[in-house]
Amino acid sequence: MYLQVTIVLIFLVLLSITVSFPTGCWQRTPAKTVCDFRYWSPPLLDSQYKIGPYQVEVKKLSGNFSSQAFIGLMGDRATSSAFILLDCDQSDVSLPANTFTSNLNWVRSLYLNKCYIRNGIAAGTLSFLIGLTSLQVTNGIFGPMNAYSLSGLMNLTNVFIQAEFLEKTFPAGLFTKLTAVTNITIQTSSLTSIPPGAFDGLTSLTSIDLSGNLLMSLPVGTFDNLVSLMRLTLDGNNWKCGCHFTWLSTWLVYSGVTATMTCSSPVAYKGFALNRAIAELGCTTSTSSPKIRSRIIAVLINSIPFIISIFKAVIIDAIILTEVLIYLFNRARVHLSFDELS
């Protein structure tokens, strides 16, 4: 009996030794592991842990990140709180195109903190993170971005970016492939311009926050066709208010979107809300812009069934009324005839 227990114990001790825990890493909770990039040798493997982690933090990341660093993590027990966090401590970092491998479909959030990615993010680098719902970049630097830097993220709903864009803008297609996205924030990111069509086709988008950038103007129709948009946060930029913004002022009235936007220049209108500046400038409201015209036509087309139903109701009421009148008339006639008879 004692012998059997001893054998089992020895077996368990041997088993725990053969699980070779990765150097430079800790296990914070059964779900979470933290690795110090300076001492860690990637890749991470489920077999290095008793239970494969699904919350992974890499600290002190700098220089070239390793290819396929997470290739052994299968996320068998992953929940909606699964994440990968890369913390670069204000170091320059390059992410190879195969940083994130196809086994990572369980990752829900990707956090990049203080990462100076001066080479930018190459096309498709994130495309295997197909289960990603949230991308959060804080205190970072982004070099050149590609129209396909965020491609493949079909389930991404929340994009939060606080990173200096070295190119002061981003390519037109960067966000337009994120068909599920509901919230886009690009705050204090040194943007001086937004490309035309930056948010085209994002019909689930409810909120855009571009506050704290260096924007003076926006391409005409930037927010057209965003049928779900409810909130637009544009404060803290260098908006130059003038009649070139009449389209936005008109669009805000038609769309009912709540927006915060105050003018920085010209001096006479500094601190004014856009709509007030446009009104005081006496800009002629133009509904001749094709986008606005198509919106009005769309509203009319949408209301055709309503107009038809009112029309129908009126006709039916008229028929009923006529029948009632005829009935009353006939009754009156019958009464009259009776009166004549008596």
Ligand X SMILES: *[C@@H]1O[C@H](CO)[C@@H](O)[C@H](O)[C@H]1NC(C)=O
Contact call for residue 131 and ligand X (CB under 6 A): yes
Contact call for residue 211 and ligand X (CB under 6 A): no
Residues 266-295 that bind ligand X (CB under 6 A): none
Contact call for residue 76 and ligand X (CB under 6 A): no
Q: Which of 101, 155, 188, 204 binds ligand X (CB under 6 A)?
A: 155
Q: Would you say 257 and 231 are in contact if contact means Cβ atoms under 8 Å apart?
A: yes
Q: Which of 103, 158, 192, 260 binds ligand X (CB under 6 A)?
A: 158
- Counting Cα atoms < 13 Å in the Cβ hemisphere of 70 gives 31
Q: What is the closest distance, in whole angstroms, from the C-beta atom of residue 117 to ligand X in the complex?
A: 13
Q: What is the closest distance, in whole angstroms, from the C-beta atom of residue 182 to ligand X in the complex?
A: 6
Q: What is the closest distance, in whole angstroms, from the C-beta atom of residue 175 to ligand X in the complex?
A: 15
> 96 or 221: whose CB is closer to ligand X?
96
Residue reference for tokens 């001749």: 288
Amino acid at position 127, single letter: S
Q: Would you say 151 and 177 are in contact if contact means Cβ atoms under 8 Å apart?
A: yes
CA distance linking residue 44 with residue 53, whole number of Å: 10
Contact call for residue 216 and ligand X (CB under 6 A): no
Contact call for residue 182 and ligand X (CB under 6 A): yes
Residue 195 structure tokens: 């490309």
CA distance linking residue 342 with residue 334, whole number of Å: 12
Contact call for residue 122 and ligand X (CB under 6 A): no
Amino acid at position 134, single letter: S
CA distance linking residue 118 with residue 124, whole number of Å: 17
Residue 60 structure tokens: 């002190």
Contact call for residue 105 and ligand X (CB under 6 A): yes
Q: What is the closest distance, in whole angstroms, from the C-beta atom of residue 141 to ligand X in the complex?
A: 16
> 125 or 246: whose CB is closer to ligand X?
125
Contact call for residue 183 and ligand X (CB under 6 A): yes
Angle (CA) 28-30-31 rounded to 5° is 90
Contacts with ligand X, residue ranges (CB under 6 A)? 63-64, 94, 105, 130-131, 155, 158, 182-183, 206-207, 230-231
